[in-house]
Structure 1
Amino acid sequence: MMRTRPLKVALLGCGVVGSEVARIMTTHADDLAARIGAPVELAGVAVRRPDKVREGIAPELITTDATALVKRGDIDVVVEVIGGVEPARTLITTAFEHGASVVSANKALLAQDGATLYAAAGRHGQDLYYEAAVAGAIPLIRPLRESLAGDKINRVMGIVNGTTNFILDKMDTSGAGYSEALDEATALGYAEADPTADVEGFDAAAKAAILAGIAFHTRVRLDDVYREGMTEVTAADFASAKEMGCTIKLLAICERAADGGSVTARVHPAMIPLSHPLASVREAYNAVFVEAEAAGRLMFYGPGAGGSPTASAVLGDLVAVCRNKLNEANGPGESAYTQLPVSSMGEVVTRYHISLDVADKPGVLAQVATVFAEHGVSIDTVRQHGRQDGGGEASLVVVTHRAPDAALSGTVEALRKLDTVRGVASIMRVEGE
């Protein structure tokens, strides 16, 4: 039996995602009501620019006073899609205090201070859902929080930023340089006017923090995530990757240590074998590869950004939260019972692909090999090519076996000091093997 009194929803933000949420709530109102068991009503929309025309939204719903909107007391669910840390954090905690559950897409806030939000939701008996914060329309948060709640997850590795994947895919398939590929991404609307958050890995790092916290039942903050951007990736790196049967992706990698005593979270470019499922993820798509003890290997794939895909995730959360409201129940809260420490990047065990410009003379390879041996790093393969332009220089490419990242970093620093090493042209980690 359907309840006749509607559940009231306040929308904070009405940009690309917010306007799509409002549109779907209106056009799919009957379906949403049937799925929830009660109608949902858009009761107010908080915006910064009230004079902007917003098609399909009644002018009387528009307000610039977001605080007053979330304090109304008759609001059942607040949908927050304004982004950033403040005022979003204060508005969300205020919503909890006044009896509203919250659906958010705010990855930055959740990564930086998710514990505060969880605590506030728990104190006031409200829900906090945020499927849209990671990987857009891809169902990922709920499977990790619920479907795999009885399993032990050991690794989460994925492509969680569509802009960077588009750029790297274009560099790989067309031979374009970084700047050229970025220009194309900007022209197509995949990259912002200021792409720093994407190309320097900040966006992916926030998502990695969220994924690691859920997967390993421990608190992982944005500051715990090691981060490298992909602006230094070159066409030469892709050429080297192809020689190894690999491609290059900007990866978010969250791992549990082999002894189970700690976790790591990192974001950086990496070479991965063409045989790995993530290697075939093209254009601006996202994909996340999960390794669990009982379930084995799972992959989640789909559009990771954009108004409609993100709104789809928001609406899915809205349906779940509204159902909980009707049943006077709550969904899962924070699960951080393991309280595992987050290890530094230096403790991560990985492989390196290192390209060196060296003097083209006898004994150089022996000197380089000695440096690796002194730092306890075993060499897997070596390729040496003389420069066609002469000049007495050669290119030396070394691929290592797995070793602690600190040892590999120390090796690179020592190589830079050799007189016979003219320069370190490229350093790339190798993953997915």
Structure 2
Amino acid sequence: MMRTRPLKVALLGCGVVGTEVARIMTTHTADLAARIGAPVELAGVAVRRAGRERPGIPSELITTDATALVKRDDIDVVVEVIGGIEPARSLITTAFEHGASVVSANKALLAADGAALHATAAAAGVDLYYEAAVAGAIPLLRPLRESLAGDKVNRILGITNGTTNFILDKMESTGAGYSEALEEATALGYAEADPTADVEGFDAAAKAAILAGIGFHTRVTADDVFREGITEVTAADIASAKEMGCVMKLLAICERTPDGTAVTARVHPAMIPRSHPLANVGGAYNAVFVEAEAAGRLMFYGPGAGGAPTASAVLGDLVAVCRNKLAGAVGPGASAYAQLPVSPMGEVVTRYHVSLDVDDRAGVLSQVAGVFAEHGVSIDTVRQQGREGSQGDASLVVVTHRAKDAALAATIAELQKLDSVRAVASIMRVEGE
């Protein structure tokens, strides 16, 4: 039988995602009640400015006092979609202290302070769910946390930022430069007015920290994640990737070290073979490739951002949390029993595509190859050609075998000292092989 007293929900934030959450809650009340086993009621909406018109949301629900809203004794669940560290952290903590479970889409906060928030939730006997924090509508965190709980995840490789994927896809398909592709992404609404969080990799790094923490049962924060953005990717890099049968993607990569005693987490642009499933993920879509010991290779694909897709993930968590409330139970919390250390980027082993501007004269290739050999970085292929219309200038492209990142960094530092090397034009990692 359905309980008649409704479960009351406080909504923090009424932007693109919050508005869509409120709309679904108010237009699908009967379906949500049937799925949960009790009516669910939007009891209040906290906003920064109360004067705006918000169609579909009764004005009496709007408040600018978020703290008072989460302190209400009748609130069962708080949905936080305001983002950022503060006041979100304080509001979520207050909600826990007053017995409310929390559904959040706040990747930055969870990547920075997830362990403490989980501990506070556990002490209060309430839930903290955040499926919407990574990859929008794609069901990803719950499969990692629950469906693969009996398996051993070895690697997570994914496109977790739609803005950068759109930009790189546009550069690849049209030959556009970075600035031109970014301008189009902004015009279409894929990029914010200030795109720094996306294009410099901060957004993807926060998601990588969450994925690594869940996948490897280890505490990982955004500060543990090596990060490079896409602002230095050029049309020449895209063209070189094409020549290698690859495409360029901004990847979030979380993996166990070969001996299994540590993990690494990194975000950077990389060339991946066109045969890899992630190579065909275009536009603003996201996809995450998971490699587990027993399950093998799994791929999760779909829209990774936007009001409706993110709201879908929020509402899925809301239903789960409300069901737990009715059952007098809580769902799975943080699992960090493994406590594996996070290795520095220098320990990561991968392949590299290095483009050099060099003097076009005899003996240069031998010099360059000698530096690679000196630091134990084995060369796979070399391509050298003179530049059209240049005087004594050539382009030298070296693709290596797998080597430690620290060894490659030492190689580059030594190459920059050679008189015959005019510039290190670009360094790109090669992944997914």
Other-structure match for 2:170 = 170
Residue deviations 1:353-397, cap 9 Å, x none? Answer: 000111111111110010001001000000111111130111110
1:111, distance to aligned residue in structure 2 (A): 0.2
Equivalences for 1:192-341 in 2 at 5 Å?
A: 192-341=192-341
Q: Does 1:37 align with 2:34?
A: no
- The Cα of 1:73 is off from its aligned counterpart by 1.1
Q: What is the SS of the residue equivalent to 1:51?
A: coil
Who is 1:101 aligned against? 101
Counterpart residue number, 2:139? 139
Deviations along 1:234-285, one digit per CA (max 9) or x if unpaired, are 1100111011000100000001111110001000000000000000000000
Stretch deviating more after TM superposition (30-39 or 384-393): 384-393
Query: Matched residue of 2:265: which SS?
Result: strand
Q: Which amino acid aligns with 1:87?
A: P
Q: How far apart, CA to CA, are the structure 2 residues paired with 1:20 and 1:273?
A: 38
Aligned to 2:5: 5
Deviations 1:156-209 (A, max 9, x none): 010000000000000000000000000000000000000000000000000000
CA displacement at 1:19 relative to structure 2: 0.5
The answer for the alignment partner of 1:428 in structure 2 is: 428
Partner letter of residue 360 of structure 1? D
Q: Secondary structure at the match of 1:332?
A: coil
| Distance in 1, Cα, partners of 2:393 & 2:57 | 66
Corresponding residue number in structure 1 for 2:66: 66
Tell me what 1:27 maps to: 27
Q: Any residues of structure 2 matched to 1:111-122 within 5 Å, and which?
A: 111-122=111-122
- The answer for the alignment partner of 2:80 in structure 1 is 80
Whichever residue aligns with residue 432 of structure 2, its letter is G
Percent identity, please. Answer: 83
2:402 corresponds to 1:397: no
Secondary structure class of the residue paired with 1:388: coil
Amino acid at match of 1:334: A
Aligned to 2:269, what secondary structure does the other structure show?
strand
- Classify the secondary structure of the residue corresponding to 2:355: strand
Give distance in 2, aligned partners of 1:413 and 1:307.
Answer: 45
Question: Residues of 2 paired with 1:68 and 1:241: CA distance?
Answer: 54
Corresponding position of 2:414: 414
User: In structure 2, how many angstroms separate the alpha carbons of the residues matched to 1:287 and 1:412?
Assistant: 32
Partner in structure 2 of residue 189 of structure 1? 189
Instruction: Give me the CA root mean square deviation.
Output: 0.5
When normalised by structure 1's length, the TM-score is: 1.00
- Scaled by the length of structure 2, the TM-score of the pair is 1.00
Separation in structure 2 between the aligned mates of residue 154 and residue 226 of structure 1, nearest angstrom: 18
String of CA shifts for 1:93-114, please: whole Å, max 9, x gaps: 1101101000000000000000
* Structure 1: distance between partners of 2:334 and 2:283: 34
Q: Where does residue 350 of structure 1 map in the other structure?
A: 350
Name the CA distance, whole Å, in 1 between partners of 2:421 and 2:117. 51
Alignment of 1:42-53 (within 5 A): 42-53=42-53
Q: Could you list the runs of 5+ residues in structure 1 that have no partner in the other structure? A: none
> 1:152 — aligned with what?
152
Could you tell me which runs of 5 or more consecutive residues in structure 2 were left unpaired when the two chains were aligned: none
Equivalent position of 1:91 in the other structure? 91
Q: CA deviation at 1:116?
A: 1.1
Does the residue aligned with 2:189 lie in a helix, a strand or coil? coil
Q: CA deviation at 1:296?
A: 0.3
* Runs of at least 4 residues off by over 3 Å: none
In the alignment, the residues of structure 2 paired with residue 145 and residue 111 of structure 1 have an alpha-carbon distance, to the nearest angstrom, of: 16
Distance in 2 between residues matched to 1:269 and 1:289, nearest whole Å: 16
Return the offset for 1:45. 0.5
Corresponding letter in the other structure for 2:313: A
Question: Tell me, what secondary structure is at the counterpart of 2:102?
Answer: strand
